[in-house]
Chain A
Amino acid sequence: MITYDSINIGDELPVLHTKKISRTTLALFAGASGDHNPIHIDIDFAKQCGLDDVFAQGMLSMAYLTRLLTGWVPQQSIKDLSVRFTSITELYAEITCSGSVKEKYQKEGKNILSVLIEAKDQNGDIKIVGSAEIEIA
């Protein structure tokens, strides 16, 4: 169990590796997430848009990045989650999510950890960067 006192600035979260993103991954996520944008599931549409192939939903990688956090603390601890999508995640990418504690402080009597998070592919290309505010006992 993680507590405020047990955490130090610079501590790293347990890394999350996800399996290779397949067309099935994209189809399932389109259905489950309700994002039916054909650019993620229909190669014909992607080609009409001038792309070689479909690419992954940004929110899929953000869901993985959120699993990094919920694998570390209960999701009720997450008070703020903010990300920037820095580049497209290609089909067949293998995403690795990592994070580290940037700050710890008290706000309105609550213990807050500020955590930097990022998702990279197998080539080390950054796909998402962001931060989260975690309230902890």
Chain B
Amino acid sequence: MLNKADIGKVFPLVTANVEKGRLRFFAKATDEKNPIYTDEAAAKEAGYASLPMPPTFLFSLKMDVLDPFKNYESVGAFLPTMLHGNQQFKYYKDVVAGDCLTFKSHIADIYDKKGGKLEFLVEETKVTNQYKEHVADMITTLVIRN
């Protein structure tokens, strides 16, 4: 069970490097054939300083820690009953290979439906780069089936 008292709880910062190898692997895994995502020369020709980070890869970098589900477990949300309900990204600046991103997350809301059978955990994450520029926001809603 979730506890509404955890609304506002701030999770430990996550810092992750945007690495070319990982971006190429992600392109392969998502069947992305556009060369700007794998070939630095093509990326530069398209106006990027290096390989651009695909839009949803932010979600991956945020999990780039030893135990990415620990934060959720600490507030009573466990994997076997957890589903990804909603995902939103807002983008303010380009992110390319070589950047280093910091993810600052907090619990924005907790609510339930169907008399507690479904619980919802809303996590908001502010993403900044190595120049302390605000590059993106992420809003994740997890659904816990009780």
**A interface residues (Cβ-Cβ under 8 A, vs B):** 18-19, 25, 28-29, 31-39, 48-49, 58-60, 62-64, 66-67, 69-71, 74-76, 78-85, 88
**28 sampled A-B residue pairs with Cβ under 8 A:** A25-B29, A32-B25, A33-B60, A35-B68, A58-B87, A59-B87, A60-B29, A66-B55, A66-B56, A67-B32, A70-B34, A70-B54, A71-B34, A75-B54, A78-B55, A80-B88, A80-B89, A80-B90, A80-B91, A81-B56, A81-B91, A82-B86, A82-B88, A82-B139, A83-B86, A83-B87, A85-B85, A88-B83
Nearest Cβ on chain B to A71's Cβ, whole angstroms: 8
Q: Chain B's interface: helix, strand, loop or mixed, by majority?
A: mixed
| Cα–Cα, bound, A74→B54 (Å) | 11
- Measured between alpha carbons, how far is A63 from B58 in the docked complex, in Å? 11
The interface residues of chain A lying within 8 Å CB-to-CB of B80 are 39, 48-49
CA distance A76 to B84 in the complex (A): 26
Query: Is B39 part of the binding interface, using a Cβ–Cβ cutoff of 8 Å?
Result: no
Q: How far is the CA of A34 from the CA of B25 in the complex (A)?
A: 11
Q: How far is the CA of A48 from the CA of B78 in the complex (A)?
A: 14
The residue on B at minimum CB distance from A76 is B94
Q: For B37, give the chain A residue with the smallest CB separation.
A: A70
B21-71 contacts to A, CB under 8 A, are: 22, 25-26, 28-32, 34, 46, 52, 54-57, 59-61, 63-64, 68-69
A67 and B30 in contact, given A34-B64, A34-B68 (Cβ under 8 angstroms): yes
Q: Contact at A37–B83, with CB atoms within 8 Å?
A: no
B residues in contact (CB < 8 Å) with A:
22, 25-26, 28-32, 34, 46, 52, 54-57, 59-61, 63-64, 68-69, 79-80, 83-91, 94, 139
Give the one of B32, B68, B91 with max A CB within 10 A. Answer: B91
- Whether the Cβ atoms of B63 and A75 lie closer than 8 Å is no
Q: How far is the CB of B57 from chain A (nearest CB, A)?
A: 8
Q: Which residue of A lies closest to B64 (CB)?
A: A34
Shortest Cβ distance from residue A51 to the other chain B in the assembled complex, whole angstroms:
10
Q: Which residues of B contact A63 (CB under 8 A)?
A: 26, 30, 32, 54, 56
